[in-house]
Structure 1
Amino acid sequence: MPPRTAPLSTGGGGAGRGAGRGRGRGGTPISWGSSASNNPNAPQISNHVTTVGVKRPAYGVSGRPIAVYANCFETTIPEKTIYHYDGAWYVTWLWWWMNVPNLTWPRAIDITGEKALPARLNMLIIKALQEVVARDVFITPAVYDGRKNMFSTHILFPEHSRTFDVTLAAGKPPPAGAGGGKPPKLYKVKITQAASINPELLRRFIEGSQSNDEKVATAIMALNIVIRMDPTQKYPFNVRSFFPGKETKMIGSGIELCRGYFQSVRPAIGRMVINVDISTGMFFRPGLLTDLILDFVGERLGNPSVLSTANPRGLGDVRNRRNLGKFLIGVRVNVITGEAPAKPGAPTRPPRAILALSDKDADQIFFAPSQGGRMISVADYFKQLRGRPLKYPKIVCVAVGNKDSWVPIELLAVVSGQLMRKEVPSDRTKDVVEFSTKAPKERLASIRQAFSVLKYGDSPYVQNFGMQVEENPMEIKARVLKHPTLQYGVMRGKPTKVNPANGAWNMREKKFYRPAKVGRWLVIIFESERRFDARTATEMVKSFSAACNEYGMLMLAPNPEISWIVGNPRGSIMKQLKDAGKAVVDKYKEAPALLVVILPEQGDEIWREVKHFGDIEMGVPTQCMKANKCGRGKPQYFANVCLKLNGKLGGINTIPDPETERSLTDPNNPAIVMGADVFHPAPGSVGRPSFAALVGSVDSEAAKYVADVSVQDGSFSKRIEMITGLKDMTKGILIKYMQYRVQQEKKKMSEAPPKRLIFYRDGISEGEFPKVLEVELPQIKAACAELKINPKITLIIVGKRHHIRFFPKNEGDAGDKLGNCPAGTIIDREIGHPTEFDFYLQSHGGLLGTSRPAHYSVLHDENAFPVDALQALSFTLCHVYAPSTRSVSIPAPVYYADRVCGRAKNHFHPDESLDGSDTASRASNDDGTTLMKSIMNAFKPINSKQSNAMFFLQHLPTLDSCTHNHSQICTEL
């Protein structure tokens, strides 16, 4: 929540966080040839306005103009003053006791240490407050975010704060002295005045005459709460998305998918807009808890007897039981009483959350029903004392309410509409993507249809705040940038040049720009000879070698040793890899320079051990292939393999043409390009690490990269997005850049340092932009200072987690048969930031569903790039992703950093099981600190033999046969 502010004065905009920053930062005009203020193409931004990042110097003009629709809908700004209130909610119990003298009902007793209530419950409390308890206070409905913020168009009460008593129980409370048990909860709601907001602030902000300060942020937050208030009271919701439940699909693993709608109020250039999109939610399968569990473990419904701890292949396996327990924790359930339904209006017991899964069956769990009573099993309790024998007494139970209250799972039902706040299981990713994917025309039609559900005009909250929403999507002027020219190796005496079409090209009659040499290599096959026999292996070697030769890679030892390793017990894989390598050393008196590993269909665990062996333990390049792919592999398959392998062996596949792409390859102004990312553990994890990756170019063409990866505290209470060790990581990359320039490119030492440092940062939300400038930028500068170099730094945030989509207005402007905008579509007008330098670039051609553009925000720019030059440079970098013959959705160094983060769990020895992949904590005596320290100590760096190689080009085995446009795989999530 923004800090409390004083009531708005009508004076000019105050100083924002960008005030007083250095060259190229907010508050300082940018000069890049002609003055921005004198440039007719420059936006009209007041000189006194300060920004967090770079003030927008101008709009881009290069490229072919096209018209597109954006999934943004213009909305008016309220005319009324908005009053902001803080809310404090705490719970008390109402008790009344018989035979207690001088008791007056009700008597409130505060319960200290009460945890924060869930947002869904808070919404019900405020609804009751407004509609029942304090109707005279809430003359017109106020809006509430489910946590602490409330906004109203009128002053609720004259005093600074007021406390209300609210109960959700139906009917009136019993009279004093009445008998009965525990009464319903009483919720004390304390509401405190925070500030008043003049909406004129927003008008000035979108017109470029107001800084983006806390008051503006609070006003935008208020409008977002206004549009969300109505649907969040009707449907399950997740912050900015809600799910009506009209389109659902069961996909197994206890998961139900549901189509929903995303909505967010955003400032744009000269207007406020609502970004509306479709979204997908994962829900726990509703209905019988036994059905949910059977679905999760992959058993057929209607046969709960398999859920016994006596079943060694089922819940008798401790690992299976632990995984199920993690999945069930927090799921809300109701007890199936089997009794007649309660009378209308009678209070019902609220759902309770599952706290644990038993390690014994119901007939083996004993407890005393009453103090001093004899011990009895859960199964016998229901049979003898409740007269309700269990149908399945030999299956597990769950604890609900408290960890000593074990309830048979056959008596519980899962409450519908429960969002799963967990990672998508790897074996269900394909199902989620298929459900989420919609072609552009279908997606835009669904977004238009959303208005029949959103019904802004019918919302009493939207009406009260005086907002009117346009129901037609915005039409925007866009441009399509020219693709960069790419250069491949020499054929017929001259370099081969390629001009991509809609982000794609092919490798026919081309050789790599710098082909690698393949030394002594070894083929290791983790598949039976029955499924992958000697003849298949020979054909694979022949096809693989032919592909390498076709693209210029020199096979120094064309006949590899082939070794089958079958029936590996867990933990012996690395030993067997070492033994196979030692056999090559004994025979040829040299170590293998490459391991080609053939994996079975279910070979993910083997893949991880192979990568740990190659990247960490031995420092030897590895290339994994699935047996069912390479055994019948076509030339295109092995061509894809070569794209990855050439880079890992030190080669370069392609470079931007130096003659035409001067913004990146200017020999008089050498540049190093870096990409950084941070990967956090799954929600709910304790004692799990975060991984930070930095990738940087070392060659003059920004096509060859090296990487560094580190581990940092990922505890939720300590989790930070900033890279704590960025200075040392940057320093190491810069040293390798200068070494490469001297040793490989034969530059003089005085020519080795870069003059420009272009830094792309991934994974940062807009609210964290100031931290990047305050924490990470100084570390980059400190690394340069320690090396006594002074490159001009440009820092750009690349955002992927947003819901902006573009749709070509005219069918002739579509770049693919699905109807996506063509690769190179760029938008920097109308829906961009009102005052800061940003743009949207859809750099890739669509393969699946509706393509997502990347959002670029320029936070710091000492190079004073012209707008067109920086946009073209970013587009060019999307074409040098080595494993691909398609442009990708984000610049290659950012993509590489993302890959390095995803592989970081391979830096732990497989036997240590400290890979950070679990979605919940293992047992620990503290908050995870001890486990976190052990994990950080167990993290191993990349082997020095691999530290200068592009070891990160190997894809996960599940993606091994993809067409290298992996940016498309999760565009819909």
Structure 2
Amino acid sequence: MFHQEQVLPTQVRAVVGTSGFCSGHTGPHRQGLEHGNTLQGALSAGAAQRTVGDTSSAETTNQLIQTLQLPMRKECGTMGKSIIVETNHFALDLSRVQNNIIIHYDVTLEPSFPQRMLRAAMEEFRLKHYPKRFPAFDGKKNLYSSGDLPFGREMCDHIALCDNESGKERKFKITIKYASQADLQSLVQYTASGASLLPPQKAIQAVDIILRNVSAFRFVQAGRSFFSPPKGRVVELGDGVEMWHGFFQSAILGWKPFVNIDVAHKGFPSARNVVDLILEVCKLRREDLQKELSIQQKEDFLNYIRGLKIDYMLPDVPTSKRTYKVNNITKSPVEQFFELDDHKWISVAEYFAYEKKVILSYPHLPCLHVGSVNRLKPIYVPAELCTVTRGQVTIRKLNETQISNMIKNTTTSTDIRKQKIQEALRSVRFNDDPCMKEFGLSVSDRFEKVEARVLEAPQLQYNVEVGKKNVVNPMKGVWRPLTFLSTNKLSHWIILNLNKYTKEDEMRRFGVEMQNVGRTLGMDIAPPPPPKSMQPPTKNTHQLMEFFKTVKTEVQLVVVVIPDRGDCYAKVKKVAELNVGLLTQCVKGRTMSRLNPAVCSNILLKINSKLNGINHTFASVSRPPCLFRPVMIVGADVTHPSPDQLSIPSVAAVTASHDPKAFKYNIQIRLQPPKAEIIEDLENIMRQQLLFFYRHTSACKPERIIFFRDGVSDGQFAQVLKSEVLAIRRACFSMSQEYEPKVTFLVVQKRHHTRFFPRSEDADGRYKNVPPGTVVDRKITHPTEVDFYLVSHSSIQGVSRPTKYHLLWNDDDDIMTENEIEKIAYYLCHMFSRCTRSVSYPAPTYYAHLAAKRARVYLEGENIKLSNLQSQQHICAALKEIVSDHPMFFV
């Protein structure tokens, strides 16, 4: 059980009351308050008569909480070996700023489309009314200038431009109104003292738009990144998509202002003739184009072409060129008829033959329905006369093949990536831009040098066997497994083959290899019976369900061999976990054909976890102090559907440990409205997790909760703090009015572009990355709050992406110091059950990703009613016997 060692009490680091914060800064951090003024004390005082489980006073609680301030840094971490790294943060120089006041104008353009022409319209407006001034425009509605522009508080005028796509003239009515002002000097003051409770958001936004204004005129913008057409060889990613190179840029605040520059890559629709794209997308040969496409081929083509712009042009007639958006595909030119002005009906093929003198080469391919959908007479154009317009920014997700090809073509070492970043910086030419000069801003061309530390990896304990080593020291983030710490005998199991290419002798060899490798890992595995085979399930999963029901009482586990492609995995998991209550381990056919001891070892890492075994834990010398008392470690994430998936909900997943070794986790899953980032049912989720912990630890309550929250952006910190931290508190309070565990709440972020470049003597591996355990908590981090970057893994491909941690709440900064938080974050990266290498973020967060991914599997093919998600929760609820008997079934 947990070691009974005394822990020091501490104070809550937030203030509750109606008058804001009760104390200001004392040195670099705020003082805590006495217990009577803690958050939990306020909850108790405000709801003294509540019964256990009652959460009716949530509104009262929210009224009590006026402002919650993030913990502030007492001192930076000190553990580990010191090294110097360079980072892709470039100092933003404000020393030459003449006019500290930035004027913000609100811009209205009528019409507000097409958006691609708005910058050009504003540039014409500038040349006409203030040609010697160079304000920054965000491309939508915000304009920033250094001091007042030469008109009063408002100006309105009309601008006419030629639309290059349609060849027509477009007129815009532009109105500019004074909105507000920002002080650039506030950036300097904030980073110097941290005295302001909130960063100068207006100034940050203004600077970011000024920097973005420089790039927007010369590059194709996609979000925060900018791209230019490929020069020389075009990298085709497959299925009608080509890769463009570009760069990411963003203004950020560390201990001083910086510009973050990184390389970027994105898939763009290939600018090729539509017929060639049909060949590629539909996997056809040229001779196949003389007949009509099948229903499936039409669907594949439509999924690709719908919503894209195409350039239509008659052969050798450049003046006929027009650009249209594709609404749909229709019948072939010989079958698609339309009405002429004289009310005669004619086929598209006949029209082009007689009116345009063009004989179509592929009259059986679908026509494209283009132009306005509201047009009385729709426009149909033959596919062969169309080319996909170059440089279109889409929000579509790449498929597996495209992602694989992109990785192959973008994987580089740190020195090559550094060189590409320098090239990107030179191509932008920030310091030559008249807008930058007018504001007095300049960007350094030197990578910022930062002091870093390399933390020592934890020693990991395996099972004790006489005369054998039971502790391993990870080297460069990797180690060899020893005998599992604890196992359960796999005495009854069976192999089910759903892959027609897997041979019976391969499955028999798999059974023997599993037994052999199991012995080396200390896991007793009985020989399986002869494998069973059946056709992979299609829409009807009845045969699979009957098989699972038949063997449920006879076996502990079914190993299912599945095809390398398709939705077989989803069907297996849904039937086994939602309908039958059976533990399964899926193995792809290609894995079965490449079988070796290392592959079997990796499979057994997962199987042992599913059977409630423990692979490894921290050796006693490496056990973090916070784990010597009952502690629950939690990982949480909310995953969202892609922008084009309009009928799919978001998924909130929360995993929590329930054993003293911090190895075993269980999951809670909830469906949420699309794009809802806050975990809406967190109070009930945490209550269920606390009850699970209580039952599985012999009636023990965690004295501390360490919460790792993924998927939250900086702008959502306040919302998460007020909603989710309070939900955790209410869940604890519902267990008992006296129950007040210490809470440490960290946000885990991977969606950033910070990279580290080590000196040659510190470089690790073929890609020359910083070594695992590298932590940076100064200079490029927040000037006063507790945040740090940690590279916890050894990169398999390319440049390591550090994980950023930001502390939002800490009840116990005497025990949970920055050193301790950095250490526990790094150590937990060694506790992921599925591999014997440290991963890029803590195991509980990784498990939250896996849990959300499993929920996505459950949702495949389901018709979800977004209007009543509460009634749909059962769709992603695994059967109780799976959840209670095998909590780690999801790994």
Query: What TM-score does the superposition give when structure 1 sets the normalisation length?
Result: 0.81
Structure 1: gaps spanning 5 or more residues: 1-17, 39-49, 92-115, 172-180, 343-347, 743-748, 917-927, 956-973
The letter for the 2-side match of 1:444 is: K
Paired position in structure 2 for 1:184: 169
Matched ranges for 1:724-803 at <5 A: 724-742=680-698, 749=699, 752-788=700-736, 789-803=739-753
Deviation track 1:665-691 (CA, whole Å, cap 9, x = no partner) reads 21xx32101010011111132222111
Deviation track 1:187-225 (CA, whole Å, cap 9, x = no partner) reads 1111111112221100011113442647x1121121112
What's the CA shift for 1:21? 5.7
Paired position in structure 1 for 2:756: 806
Match among 483, 492, 507 for residue 520 of structure 1: 492
Find the aligned partners of 2:715 and 2:850 in 1 and give their Cα distance: 25
What's the CA shift for 1:947? 1.2
Deviation track 1:3-25 (CA, whole Å, cap 9, x = no partner) reads xxxxxxxxxxxxxxx995689x9
Find the aligned partners of 1:235 and 1:878 in 2 and give their Cα distance: 39
The letter for the 1-side match of 2:824 is: L
Change in 2 beyond 3 A, CA 1:504/1:890: same
The letter for the 2-side match of 1:856 is: Y
Structure 2: gaps spanning 5 or more residues: 1-12, 32-66
The letter for the 2-side match of 1:563 is: K
Paired position in structure 1 for 2:636: 676
Change in 2 beyond 3 A, CA 1:126/1:821: same
Deviation track 1:479-498 (CA, whole Å, cap 9, x = no partner) reads 00111121111211788112
Paired position in structure 1 for 2:126: 130
What's the CA shift for 1:753? 0.7
Paired position in structure 2 for 1:921: none
Paired position in structure 1 for 2:673: 713
Superposition RMSD in Å: 2.8
Find the aligned partners of 1:304 and 1:197 in 2 and give their Cα distance: 63
Find the aligned partners of 2:202 and 2:307 in 1 and give their Cα distance: 32
Matched ranges for 1:138-217 at <5 A: 138-169=131-162, 184-211=169-196, 213=198, 216-217=200-201
What's the CA shift for 1:851? 0.3
Find the aligned partners of 1:765 and 1:571 in 2 and give their Cα distance: 39
What's the CA shift for 1:505? 0.7
What SS is found at the alignment partner of 1:449?
helix
Paired position in structure 2 for 1:577: 544
Deviation track 1:894-918 (CA, whole Å, cap 9, x = no partner) reads 011011112212224x6xx2288xx
Alignment of 1:619 with 2:586, yes or no, is no
Structure 2 contact 850–890 (Cα < 8 Å) conserved: no
Paired position in structure 1 for 2:355: 385
What's the CA shift for 1:295? 2.3
Match among 767, 774, 779 for residue 818 of structure 1: 767
Find the aligned partners of 1:241 and 1:952 in 2 and give their Cα distance: 39
Paired position in structure 2 for 1:489: 463
Alignment of 1:450 with 2:401, yes or no, is no
What SS is found at the alignment partner of 1:539?
helix
The letter for the 1-side match of 2:269 is: F
Matched ranges for 1:145-294 at <5 A: 145-169=138-162, 184-211=169-196, 213=198, 216-246=200-230, 248-269=234-255, 271-294=256-279
Alignment of 1:660 with 2:641, yes or no, is no
Alignment of 1:396 with 2:366, yes or no, is yes
What's the CA shift for 1:632? 4.2
Find the aligned partners of 1:946 and 1:29 in 2 and give their Cα distance: 51
The letter for the 1-side match of 2:646 is: V
Find the aligned partners of 1:517 and 1:611 in 2 and give their Cα distance: 23
What SS is found at the alignment partner of 2:782?
coil
What SS is found at the alignment partner of 2:419?
helix
Deviation track 1:922-948 (CA, whole Å, cap 9, x = no partner) reads xxxxxx856x86993672301112214
The letter for the 2-side match of 1:395 is: L
Deviation track 1:26-83 (CA, whole Å, cap 9, x = no partner) reads 886799xx99589xxxxxxxxxxx9852222211111100010101111112342211
Paired position in structure 2 for 1:689: 649
What's the CA shift for 1:311? 3.3
Match among 558, 568, 572 for residue 595 of structure 1: 558
Paired position in structure 2 for 1:946: 882
Alignment of 1:368 with 2:339, yes or no, is yes
Structure 2 contact 312–322 (Cα < 8 Å) conserved: no
Change in 2 beyond 3 A, CA 1:35/1:238: closer
Alignment of 1:329 with 2:306, yes or no, is yes
Paired position in structure 2 for 1:120: 116
Structure 1 contact 621–951 (Cα < 8 Å) conserved: no
Structure 1 contact 804–852 (Cα < 8 Å) conserved: yes
Paired position in structure 2 for 1:635: 597
Find the aligned partners of 1:598 and 1:341 in 2 and give their Cα distance: 56
Structure 2 contact 791–800 (Cα < 8 Å) conserved: yes
What SS is found at the alignment partner of 2:567?
helix
Find the aligned partners of 1:895 and 1:326 in 2 and give their Cα distance: 32
Q: Which moved more, 1:116-125 or 1:273-282?
A: 116-125
Structure 1 contact 545–558 (Cα < 8 Å) conserved: yes
Give the share of equivalent positions with the same residue, in percent.
27
Find the aligned partners of 2:244 and 2:889 in 1 and give their Cα distance: 35
Change in 2 beyond 3 A, CA 1:584/1:272: closer
What SS is found at the alignment partner of 1:518?
coil
Find the aligned partners of 2:488 and 2:107 in 1 and give their Cα distance: 64
Change in 2 beyond 3 A, CA 1:824/1:460: same
Deviation track 1:717-757 (CA, whole Å, cap 9, x = no partner) reads xx321111111111111111111101xxxxxx3xx111111
Find the aligned partners of 2:15 and 2:223 in 1 and give their Cα distance: 35
Paired position in structure 2 for 1:879: 830
Query: What TM-score does the superposition give when structure 2 sets the normalisation length?
Result: 0.88
The letter for the 2-side match of 1:577 is: L
What's the CA shift for 1:526? 1.7
What SS is found at the alignment partner of 2:257?
strand
Find the aligned partners of 2:801 and 2:163 in 1 and give their Cα distance: 48
Change in 2 beyond 3 A, CA 1:726/1:582: closer
What SS is found at the alignment partner of 2:82?
strand
What SS is found at the alignment partner of 1:373?
coil
Match among 311, 314, 317 for residue 293 of structure 2: 311
Find the aligned partners of 1:536 and 1:600 in 2 and give their Cα distance: 15
The letter for the 1-side match of 2:252 is: R
Find the aligned partners of 2:396 and 2:197 in 1 and give their Cα distance: 34
Find the aligned partners of 1:705 and 1:22 in 2 and give their Cα distance: 37
What's the CA shift for 1:277? 0.6
Structure 1 contact 249–257 (Cα < 8 Å) conserved: yes
Match among 560, 564, 570 for residue 533 of structure 2: 564
Number of corresponding residues: 829
Find the aligned partners of 1:768 and 1:693 in 2 and give their Cα distance: 18
Find the aligned partners of 2:792 and 2:488 in 1 and give their Cα distance: 29
The letter for the 1-side match of 2:123 is: K
Structure 1 contact 164–190 (Cα < 8 Å) conserved: yes
Find the aligned partners of 1:860 and 1:576 in 2 and give their Cα distance: 51
Structure 1 contact 143–226 (Cα < 8 Å) conserved: yes
Alignment of 1:902 with 2:853, yes or no, is yes
Find the aligned partners of 2:137 and 2:207 in 1 and give their Cα distance: 11
The letter for the 2-side match of 1:263 is: Q
Structure 1 contact 27–55 (Cα < 8 Å) conserved: no
